[in-house]
Structure 1
Amino acid sequence: MLYELIGIVRPGSLAEVKEIALTAGQIILRNGGVIRGVSNWGVFTLPRPVAKAQMKHKTGHYFVMRYDASSATHTDMRTTINLDPRVIRTAHVKLGDGKLETMARFGDVKWDR
């Protein structure tokens, strides 16, 4: 399955963001997954203040990672990343089944009744 991870890390050190992305990537690769891309979005103000690990955060360092992995690998990576106190928040989106035929198809949307 193709997934997208949007992670928000406490601001301050780019090395922390790289380390968290590396940890997520190692879990994916160790379990036979494929990383499609990693993007650093930089530091932004959060939509609302977030309290995490006894700190109140108003800004966060965003990064995005797209990867193919099994659902068990995805669950393992998600659990590991969310336990890290440096991570403020994560969002995980399932983008599709990862098959190029269905990902690259244009045209009408088929509605099931």
Structure 2
Amino acid sequence: MLYEMIGIARQGSLAEVKEIVLTAGQLILRQGGVIRDVKNWGVFMLPRSISRHQVRHTRGHYFVLRYDASIKTHQSVKSTLDIDPRVIRAAGVKLGDGKLETISRFGPINLRAME
């Protein structure tokens, strides 16, 4: 299945975001998944302040990870990101049913297309 996960890491260094994506990517690859795309959207104000790990956040570093994996792999990536103290929020959606013609409809990840 094709999944897209949008994550928000605490505002800080870009190295932290790279480590988070590397951890998730290694987990996907070890379980037989394929990473399709990774995008760094940068730092933005959160729609509302979020309390996470006893800290209130008003800004976050957004990133997007698109990958093919099994449901079990997707659940383990989600649970890994949920317990990481550097991650404020992570949400994933299933984009396709795994067939090539369905996957080809989804182009590159673009923040400007959402505005």
Per-residue deviation at 1:104?
Answer: 3.9
Aligned alpha-carbon RMSD (Å): 1.0
What's the counterpart of residue 24 of structure 2?
Answer: 24
Per-residue deviation at 1:98?
Answer: 2.4
Deviations 1:17-60 (A, max 9, x none): 00000000000000000000100000000000000011100000
Q: Write the letter of the residue equivalent to 1:50.
A: I
Q: Write the letter of the residue equivalent to 2:75.
A: T
Deviations 1:55-110 (A, max 9, x none): 100000000010000001111111111100110001101001121123346xxxxx
Tell me how far apart the structure 2 counterparts of residues 57 and 9 of structure 1 sit (CA, whole Å): 10
Q: Which moved more, 1:79-88 or 1:94-103?
A: 94-103
Larger radius of gyration: 1
Q: Which runs of 5+ in 2 are unaligned?
A: 106-115
Could you tell me the TM-score, scaled by structure 1's length? 0.89
Is this contact kept in 1: 2:2–2:103, CA < 8 A? Answer: no
Per-residue deviation at 1:16?
Answer: 0.5
What's the counterpart of residue 49 of structure 2?
Answer: 49
Is this contact kept in 1: 2:8–2:87, CA < 8 A? Answer: yes
User: Where in structure 2 are the equivalents of 1:1-113 lying within 5 Å?
Assistant: 1-104=1-104
Tell me how far apart the structure 2 counterparts of residues 74 and 61 of structure 1 sit (CA, whole Å): 21
Tell me how far apart the structure 1 counterparts of residues 101 and 7 of structure 2 sit (CA, whole Å): 28
Q: Write the letter of the residue equivalent to 1:46.
A: L
Identity level (%): 69
Tell me how far apart the structure 1 counterparts of residues 15 and 46 of structure 2 sit (CA, whole Å): 20
Provide the aligned length of Structure 1 versus Structure 2: 105
Q: Write the letter of the residue equivalent to 1:21.
A: V
Q: Which runs of 5+ in 1 are unaligned?
A: 106-113
Tell me how far apart the structure 1 counterparts of residues 52 and 104 of structure 2 sit (CA, whole Å): 39
